[in-house]
Amino acid sequence: MTKIAFRAGLAALAAAGMLLSGCGGSDSTEPKGGTTTAAQAAADNGVAALTADEILAKAKEALTKVGSFHMAGSATTDGETMSLDFKVSGKDFAGKMSMGKDADVEILSVGGKQYMKPSEGFWAMLAGPEQAKTMVTATGGKWVLVPAKDSVSGLFAAADVNELLKPTGALSKGEATKVGEQAVITLKDAGDAESQLFVATTGEPYPVRIGPSATGEGITFSEFGAKFDGIAAPAADQVVDQASLGK
């Protein structure tokens, strides 16, 4: 499922002819403040006894119901590291994605509007180095308002729980283990043998981690139900409409 979690960035790059797929080994970003609270660790939630598909449904339901969460992690493809760090609150979210050296983009979605603030390296990956310099000058460090349907709008799928936790093949149930101190049940994706989804078996059945194992590279989930005050629309004078850039 690591491929699914990084689908947002992959879709944007694929649209620009950058065909990336799969994930190798890299160091993950560990969750801040842990993945559970003491109260969540109190009792078995019963999901381990369910089928793989039922467990996934419970994880999606729990993540949707809680409304907000933090997800962060990284993966490496053909020697290039791709990382993301997003804070999600309902349908709004803010964060950053990096795709290779110096190719960074800040992403913001508020009130149904989508914004991005790409580095010159990111523009270069999308449009080539010559056009990148033009875009940097045209945007002047401001946010770019992105249409709902566009070659880079796939970046904003990161907040969609159904897309985020969508397997690429048949699911099967793996072993019970722990991610840190959190007891979890493992779900294996037949379409992505390198990745597994780890779902909490105590407290709420939140997705705790996506990765090839319970430690190492992958994506971690934390801060469930947190209030993220920093997710707000930019000032109007700090926004450039992408249509005005000819993109």
pLDDT at position 246, please? 58
Looking at residue 158, its amino acid is A
Rounded CA Rg of the chain: 18
pLDDT at position 192, please? 81
Cα–Cα–Cα angle for 215, 23, 14, rounded to 5 degrees: 145
Is the pTM for the entire model greater than 0.85?
A: no
Give the residue among 77, 75, 101, 74 at the shortest CA–CA distance from 85.
74
pLDDT at position 80, please? 74
The answer to whether the beta carbons of residues 211 and 55 sit under 8 Å apart is no
pLDDT at position 106, please? 92
- What CATH topology corresponds to 2-230? outer membrane lipoprotein receptor (LolB), chain A (2.50.20)
Residue pointed to by tokens 């419970």: 58
pLDDT tens column, 194-225: 779 999 999 999 999 988 888 888 889 999 99
pLDDT at position 73, please? 87
Query: Where do the domains of the chain lie?
Result: 2-230
Question: How many whole angstroms separate alpha carbon 42 and alpha carbon 243?
Answer: 52
Q: Record the tokens describing residue 221, joined without a space.
A: 């989930």
Residue pointed to by tokens 């949707």: 64
CA 72 to chain centre: 7
pLDDT at position 131, please? 84
Give the residue among 144, 137, 136, 158 at the shortest CA–CA distance from 116.
144
Q: Record the tokens describing residue 222, joined without a space.
A: 């934390």
pLDDT tens column, 169-182: 899 999 999 999 99
pLDDT at position 97, please? 86
Give the residue among 107, 90, 89 at the shortest CA–CA distance from 98.
107
Question: How many whole angstroms separate alpha carbon 152 and alpha carbon 24?
Answer: 24
The answer to whether the beta carbons of residues 95 and 87 sit under 8 Å apart is yes
In the chain, which stretches have pLDDT less than 70? 1-42, 77-78, 150-153, 158, 246-247
pLDDT at position 151, please? 63
Q: Record the tokens describing residue 246, joined without a space.
A: 């000819």
pLDDT at position 25, please? 33
Question: How many whole angstroms separate alpha carbon 50 and alpha carbon 77?
Answer: 34
pLDDT at position 132, please? 86
* DSSP three-state, residue 76: strand
Question: How many whole angstroms separate alpha carbon 100 and alpha carbon 121?
Answer: 9
The answer to whether the beta carbons of residues 115 and 146 sit under 8 Å apart is yes
Question: How many whole angstroms separate alpha carbon 145 and alpha carbon 112?
Answer: 11
